[in-house]
A and B are shown apart, each in its own frame.
Chain A
Amino acid sequence: MPMGRRYAKDGPQTGKRTFGRRRKVCKFCVEKIDFIDYKDIKLIGSYVPERAKILPRRISGTCAPHQRELQKAIKRARHLALLPFVGE
């Protein structure tokens, strides 16, 4: 079963399948955020869903260097009880 995958409007291009989904881009690269601050809970919090696990790159589309920075910031924020270790 084609799980949610579909061809783009103009159909397959040169044998390669094009998926309807937009390619994810790293938010930090686009907005040119070089330094991810552990105090900025508003920003970091969006990468920590309900269960309080760190959102994987595969889902958020964050690039590897920025994911590492993000990970560090989240862990620091957790230590200071700004973010939870476990969610509901």
Chain B
Amino acid sequence: MRQYEVVFILAPHLSEEEADAMALAMQRTAEKKGATFTKVDKWGKRRLAYNIEKQREGYYFLFAIDTNPDAINELERKFKQTDEVIRFMTVRTDLEQKALAKRLSLRQRDEAKKAEKRGTAQPSAETRDRESSGMSGGEE
């Protein structure tokens, strides 16, 4: 199982309902291939930074998907077929998440070491603070 993030942009001439329906249809095709959606985010109509297919705006959608590559291939095939999809991008996120977790743990270890050097009373409180602040990394 891999984790992906898929962002795609739908043409602005659609009504909001049509855009939603289309996004849902995309979701269904992926689900048929065995994908599980962890997040479906609708950013709504946004101004594009540059024109795509002569359009200045577009409906943005974000999918976070847990799946095997098959469903992604199918989804991308569908995107290419559909004219209303003016742009899409798939990013594999599980590797990035793994790297991030590693970096976090490394830093926690480093900081624990540093704290140890500084003295014994202070650090224990500090590390506890960091753990409670969780994934965000925490600020001093």
Bound-state Cα–Cα, A24 to B21, Å: 49
Chain A contact residues: over half helix, strand or loop, or mixed? loop
Q: Are A32 and B138 in contact, with the CB atoms below 8 A?
A: yes
Q: Mark B120-135, 1 if CB is under 8 A from A, else 0.
A: 0000000000000000
Bound-state Cα–Cα, A86 to B51, Å: 12
Given contacts A32-B139, A33-B137, A76-B91, contact A82 B49 (CB under 8 A): yes
Bound-state Cα–Cα, A32 to B137, Å: 7
Give the size range of B's interface with the partner. Answer: 20 to 34
CB of A10 closer than 8 Å to a CB of B: no
Instruction: Report the nearest A residue to B137, measured CB to CB.
Output: A32
Q: Are A35 and B89 in contact, with the CB atoms below 8 A?
A: no
Within residues 62 to 88 of chain A, which ones have a CB less than 8 A from any CB in chain B? Answer: 76, 78-86
Chain B residues with Cβ below 8 Å from A35 are 96, 100
Q: Are A83 and B137 in contact, with the CB atoms below 8 A?
A: no
